[in-house]
Every structure is written in structure tokens, then in C-alpha cells.
Amino acid sequence: MTTTPDLATLTGEYTIDPAHTTIGFTARHAMVTNVKGKFLDFSGTLHLDGADPSHSTASLDVTMDSIDTGSPDRDGHLKSSDFFKTDEFPKMTFRSTRAESLGGDDYRITGDLTILGTTKPLTIDLEFNGAAKDPFGNERVGFEGKADIKRSEWGLTWNAALETGGVLVSDKIKLNFDISAIKQG
């Protein structure tokens, strides 16, 4: 695989910038609308290999108590034993196991997602949004990604039946990532 000199210059270690990154999700609620949320407290690192993207890695740690759906009551329910059990399982983690270039600005990263102490594989499709030096001299890269999971596979099974049929919370959850990372060193 040949790489452009621009891509090769991006090789290095990066820290995810929480002030300019969103780790979000969307769930279908009551079978009629989508509820969106995000996590406010997380940290992560990337190792980018511009010459051979398959050698790139990613690591992410999310504080589950930082969940924010815009509703304190709903957030409290999500932190409870019905869902994330944040007292017992304070973190959600992702550790990459494989990275691949799909051509152009498209990449795929596969890894282990751990929620509630259960680890399952997760594949995230990413688009490289570009690289730039910010006004403070930081070299930044940006990626946008998405993945779908079935929450029941991680033991998130609480639900309520609706009078009209269906359930209150969908099993399918859409994960969204808007990542800005700063090169170290």
C-alpha cells in the first residue's frame, strides 16, 4: 500500500481532546422517537501509523457516571442497577485489536468493548476528517465514526412493554464518535 507524504507525517502518539470530542449514542424511545445522549468524562489515546494504518491503535476509557441525556431523571435511571450499575461498573472501555484502511479517508477499527464487566467485539467505521495545526501550535487529527450495538449483548436488558405493543427502549443503540486528538511530543 502506498501512502501520501501527508499521511505519513501524521504517524505518532495522540491524546483525545475531551473539550473537542463527543462520545455519543442514540436509542429509540417508545418506538416513536430517538433519545440522544453523550458521555462528558472520558480519556483516550491513539497511535497512528501513516505508513501502515494496520499498525494503528486506539484506547478509550469512559466514566459511566458522566452520562448526559438532557434529563437528570433519565440519567439517574441509566446510572442505576436497571442499566449501567455505575457504583459497581464505573468505566466502559474500548481497546482496539485491529485497524484497517478501506480506501480514501475511510477506516475501520475493531476492538474489545467492555460494559458491565462483559467484553464483546465492536467494529467502528471511521472517516478521517483531516489534520491541522491549531492556533496554539497543537497538531490535531479528526475522525468521525459510528457503530451499532445490541445493548442486550452486554447485559443491558431492562425494558418496559408498551400498551400499544413494542418496548420502551430499543435493543439497538447507535454509537457516534466525533474525535479530535492532539499529537504528543
Alpha carbons 139 and 156: distance in angstroms, whole number: 38
DSSP single-letter state for residue 161: B
* Average pLDDT, integer, range 32-40: 85
Which one, of 149, 153, 138, 143, lies nearest residue 179 by Cα?
Answer: 143
Q: Is the pLDDT of residue 25 over 50?
A: yes
Contact 149, 113 (CB under 8 A): yes
* Average pLDDT, integer, range 100-113: 94
Q: Is the pLDDT of residue 1 over 50?
A: no
Which one, of 57, 79, 63, lies nearest residue 18 by Cα?
Answer: 63
pLDDT at site 3: 39
Q: Is the pLDDT of residue 132 over 70?
A: yes
pLDDT at site 5: 38
Q: What is the mean pLDDT of the chain?
A: 87
pLDDT at site 173: 87
Contact 154, 116 (CB under 8 A): yes
